[in-house]
Amino acid sequence: MTKATQFCVGLSNAPGTLAKLCGTLNRAKVNIDALSVADTADCCWVRVVATPPATAKRALTKARFNFCTQPVLAVTVPNRRGELERLAGKLGKAGVNINYVYGSNGPGASSTLVFSVDDLAAATRAVGH
């Protein structure tokens, strides 16, 4: 479990815009650890946890992307049934509201879940090991 920086990037809902964002991060040697895209007819919001975050911020600024940052909780869990339920239960018992969650599976037996919560400190304590 770790506190992470999430970048919320506004993009036009048009061909090639996601590729431009990913290319900007790739050229800056930034890894995309988790990604979520939500769209409307005209635009989309890309939520991305990227490392190292300071390098990602410089690259996005230099490329003139519109973005903001938000602290989130990134939790590495075994890639098995019931893990999201387990963590959501812990957060609920601690009185922490989950605004949204998204995940990313990598090679191997683990997954990363990214939580936007109303109380990051309480969430960190609730899911801590």
**Is the pTM higher than 0.95?**
no
The length of the chain in residues reads 129
CA dist list (Å): 83 to 26, 44, 50, 103, 106: 31, 29, 23, 11, 16
What's 92's DSSP letter? H
Last residue of a domain, one of 70, 88, 103: 70
Instruction: Give tens-digit pLDDT for 6-65.
Output: 999 999 988 999 999 999 999 999 999 999 999 887 889 999 999 999 999 999 999 999
Q: Is the peptide bond before 78 cis (omega within 30 degrees of 0)?
A: no
Identify the domain containing residue 112 by its residue range.
72-127
Work out how many domains the chain is built from and give that number.
2
Last residue of a domain, one of 28, 50, 70: 70
Report how far residue 49's alpha carbon sits from residue 29's, in angstroms, rounded to the nearest whole number.
14
What's 96's DSSP letter? P
23 is written with which tokens? Answer: 């290319």
Q: What is the structure's pLDDT at 1?
A: 58
116 is written with which tokens? Answer: 């936007």
Instruction: Give tens-digit pLDDT for 91-127.
Output: 999 999 999 999 887 667 788 899 999 999 999 999 9
Within this chain, do residues 60 and 6 fall inside the same structural domain, yes or no?
A: yes
Helix (H, G, I), strand (E, B) or coil at 11: strand
Q: List the CATH number of the domain containing 62.
A: 3.30.2130.10
Within this chain, do residues 39 and 63 fall inside the same structural domain, yes or no?
A: yes
